[in-house]
């Protein structure tokens, strides 16, 4: 079903590419109504245009807050052309039809990211634009709605093809896009208000997202996937890719798993190596080079093909070491020129600068079909004042530093999780098992395989309590001398007795760190 366009309202904050639209509207003798800066721009480009106040017979007021909010505008957009009652009412008031809306909104999102002025932010909450767009999109049967300059060429194509008319399918598609925009716009405003008043869990939660790019595929080649940005402050992820192939779904999944650990208050130069969203090596050291070596040595087999995340600048020496192994992604806070030349030699390896990354989200979300879970991020390690030293032997201050490091890493490992540590470096990680004993066995086996010497007097962390003593016995037999765990099992007494019998040290935190 084709609809002739006789009259258009144009109101845009982004006036780029407007000339091509004006030319096609003139060609088909389409009347233009506009206001403010858009009106001035159209006139300066040499095209006829009627000011909105002249059109409505009502001067704009309240510093421009009220100009398109007029019955002549909204009746012109919303009336049903086939409804005789509507037609009669329009004729009675001498109201004309409006067949095309070209509108983009006040740049609320842009202002929010560039200004802290509350007055300026509020004045850039658009009311009239979204109202016209909603009305036009609702009445897509008769009205064409353009909200994205990327669609100018498609509108031009429609008008040329159908001699000044548009097709129903095109109008319906543009209406869908329009409602997507209004929902997105309102969601940003809503989320900004929630943030202003510190409301993390509102009664109604909306998510906004702007598509950055379509990925090659999802977790597997038969799955489609895209990445979106959801931020009140950033226009992109701020992952500055310097070389290598495009990032995949799995790359992003591993990258953010690594960044979670990297930005968890690791103060020393630290390296995290991620494989399938689990850390296989984490190391902190005064020497960035030793930090990388320590992380890789934790599990060099799993590290192959993994994602490396560093909270330091990579130099030539570290780059040469990285170059010896295949990694999917390297993340760092900058790269020396020589280091970058070395890393770029591996064409498939993605090299990414995270210097500008702002990691500040306080919540995480998981979607399940038609529902989702929203929770605070697990930012607590433990409360030092509430630690309980439950065994006869107590850890030294030096050991407590390793204890904290182990428990910090543990909360980022998929449950059930066991992490064995020596000198601020993981030496064995057991992840994602259905029972804690298997995680203990895996962590111990990996440590025995790759770092048997470091197992002696090592420290182990568990993300939840030990339901039986068998798990700690496995760790003790491997060489662990200190264990940190939440406690809280009905068999805590049995577990502590086993620890005392083995003359090891055990600490209860009262804090659990399940990660599913």
Do 35 and 112 sit in the same domain of this protein?
Answer: yes
* Domain end among 196, 229, 250: 196
Q: Which of 149, 276, 333, 401 is catalytic?
A: 276
**CATH number for the domain that contains residue 338:** 3.40.140.20
Kindly state whether residues 341 and 392 are assigned to the same domain: no
The token pair that represents 132 in the structure block: 């016209």
Under the phi-then-psi rule, with left for phi > 0, alpha for psi from -120 to 50, and beta for the rest, what region is 464?
beta
Asked if residue 250 belongs to a domain, the reply is yes
What token pair was written down for 267?
């103060």
* pLDDT tens for the chain, residues 1 to 516: 888 999 999 998 888 889 999 999 989 999 999 988 888 898 998 888 998 888 888 777 787 777 777 888 888 999 988 888 888 888 888 889 999 999 988 888 888 888 888 888 898 888 888 998 999 999 999 999 999 999 999 999 999 999 999 999 999 999 999 999 999 999 999 989 898 898 888 888 888 888 999 999 999 999 999 999 888 888 788 899 999 999 999 999 999 999 999 998 888 999 999 999 999 999 999 999 999 999 999 999 999 999 999 999 999 999 999 999 999 999 999 999 999 999 999 999 999 999 998 877 788 888 888 888 988 889 899 999 999 999 999 999 889 999 999 999 999 999 999 999 999 999 999 999 999 999 999 999 999 999 999 999 999 999 999 999 999 999 999 999 999 999 999 999 999 999 999 999 999 999 999 998
- Residue showing tokens 């099992």: 489
Place of tokens 């500055």: 240
Full domain range(s) for residue 471:
384-508
Residue 138: active-site member: yes
Specify the pLDDT at position 106. Answer: 84
Instruction: Give the pLDDT score at 52.
Output: 87
Instruction: In whole angstroms, give the CA distance from residue 60 to residue 70.
Output: 10
Answer yes or no: do 64 and 113 share one domain.
Answer: yes
Residue 167 covered by a domain: yes
The answer to whether residues 343 and 460 belong to one domain is no
298 part of a folded domain: yes
Per the DSSP assignment, residues forming a β-bridge with 462 are 418
CATH number at residue 91: 3.40.50.1380
Q: Indicate whether 404 and 342 sit together in one domain.
A: no
* Domain end (from 353, 369, 395): 353
Tokens of 112: 């929010």
Residue 202 included in any domain: no
The answer to whether position 375 is within a domain reads: no
Residue whose C-alpha is closest to residue 72's, from 132, 25, 12: 132
In a shared domain, residues 56 and 192: yes
Note whether 121 and 255 are same-domain residues: no
Give the pLDDT confidence score for residue 491 in this predicted structure: 95
- What are the beta bridge partners of residue 353? 240, 332
Concerning whether 481 is annotated as a catalytic residue, the answer is no
455 assigned to some structural domain: yes
pTM (2 decimals)?
Answer: 0.84
Q: What is the DSSP letter of 202?
A: -
What pLDDT is attached to residue 257?
A: 94
End-to-end CA distance of the chain: 52
In the chain, the number of structural domains is 3
Distance (Å, whole) CA 112 – CA 465:
45
Say yes or no: 40 and 181 in one domain. yes
Looking at the structure, tell me whether residues 189 and 259 fall in a common domain.
Answer: no
Give the long-range contacts of residues 234-239, CB within 8 A, separation 24 or more: 234/113, 234/358, 235/113, 236/212, 237/212, 237/357, 238/354, 238/356, 238/357, 238/358, 239/331, 239/352, 239/353, 239/354, 239/357
* Token reading at 302: 């799993």
Catalytic: which of 6, 86, 138, 245? 138
Q: Which are the contacts of 483, defined by CB distance < 8 A and separation ≥ 6?
A: 459, 460, 461, 462, 472, 475, 499, 504, 505, 506, 507
* Helices 288-298, 436-450: inter-axial angle, 10-degree rounding: 120
One domain for residues 267 and 414 = no
Residue 473's nearest CA partner among 510, 448, 444 is 444
**Measured distance CA(10)–CA(152) in Å, rounded:** 12
Distance (Å, whole) CA 78 – CA 356: 46
- Indicate if 17 and 136 belong to the same structural domain: yes
Domain boundary among 331, 353, 375: 353
399 occurs within a structural domain: yes
Q: Which two tokens stand for residue 463?
A: 């993300």
**Domain shared by 253 and 166, yes or no:** no
Domain assignment of residue 347, yes or no? yes
């Amino acid at each position: 079903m084709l609809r002739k366009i006789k009259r258009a309202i144009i109101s845009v904050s982004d006036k780029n590419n407007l000339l091509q639209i004006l030319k096609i509207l003139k060609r088909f003798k389409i009347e233009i109504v506009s206001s403010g800066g858009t009106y001035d721009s159209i006139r300066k480009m040499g095209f006829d245009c009627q000011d909105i106040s002249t059109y409505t017979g009502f001067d704009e007021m309240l510093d421009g807050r009220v100009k398109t909010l007029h019955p002549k505008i909204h009746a012109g957009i919303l009336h049903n052309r086939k409804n005789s009652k509507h037609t009669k009412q329009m004729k009675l008031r001498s109201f004309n039809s409006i067949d095309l809306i070209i509108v983009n909104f006040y740049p609320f999102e842009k202002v929010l990211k560039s200004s802290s002025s509350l007055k300026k932010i509020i004045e850039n909450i658009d009311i009239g634009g979204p109202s016209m767009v909603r009305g036009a999109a609702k009445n897509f049967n008769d009205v064409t709605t353009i909200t994205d300059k990327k669609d100018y060429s498609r509108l031009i194509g429609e008008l040329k093809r159908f001699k000044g008319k548009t097709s129903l399918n095109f109008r319906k598609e543009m209406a869908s896009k329009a409602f997507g925009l209004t929902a997105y716009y309102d969601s940003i405003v809503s989320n900004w208000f929630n943030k202003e008043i510190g409301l993390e869990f509102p009664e109604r939660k909306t998510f906004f997202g702007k598509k950055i790019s379509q990925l090659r595929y999802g977790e597997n080649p038969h799955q489609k996937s895209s990445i979106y940005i959801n931020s009140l402050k950033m226009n992109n992820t701020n992952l500055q890719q310097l070389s290598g192939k495009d990032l995949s779904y799995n790359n992003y999944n591993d990258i953010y798993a690594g960044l979670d650990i990297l930005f968890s208050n690791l103060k020393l130069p630290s390296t995290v190596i991620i494989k399938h969203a689990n850390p296989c090596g984490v190391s902190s050291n005064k020497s960035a080079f030793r930090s990388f070596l320590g992380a890789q040595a934790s599990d060099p087999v799993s590290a192959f093909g993994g994602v490396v995340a560093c909270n330091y600048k990579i130099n030539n020496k570290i780059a040469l070491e990285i170059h010896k192994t295949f990694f999917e992604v390297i993340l760092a806070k900058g790269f020396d020129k020589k280091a970058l030349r070395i890393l770029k030699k591996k064409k498939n390896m993605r090299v990414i600068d995270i210097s500008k990354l702002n990691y500040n989200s306080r919540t995480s979300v998981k979607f399940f079909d038609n529902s989702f879970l929203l929770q605070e991020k697990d930012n607590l390690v433990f409360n030092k004042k509430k630690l309980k030293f439950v065994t006869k032997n107590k850890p030294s201050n030096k050991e407590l530093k390793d204890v904290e490091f182990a428990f910090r890493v543990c909360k980022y490992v998929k449950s059930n999780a066991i992490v064995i540590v020596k000198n601020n470096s993981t030496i064995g990680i057991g992840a994602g098992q259905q029972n804690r004993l298997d995680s203990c066995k895996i962590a111990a086996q990996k440590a025995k395989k790759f770092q048997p010497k470091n197992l002696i007097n090592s420290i182990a962390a568990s993300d939840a309590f030990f339901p039986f003593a068998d798990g700690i016995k496995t760790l003790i037999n491997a060489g662990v001398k200190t264990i940190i765990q939440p406690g809280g099992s009905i068999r805590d007494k049995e577990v502590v007795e086993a620890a005392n019998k083995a003359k090891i040290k055990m600490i209860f935190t009262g804090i659990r760190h399940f990660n599913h």
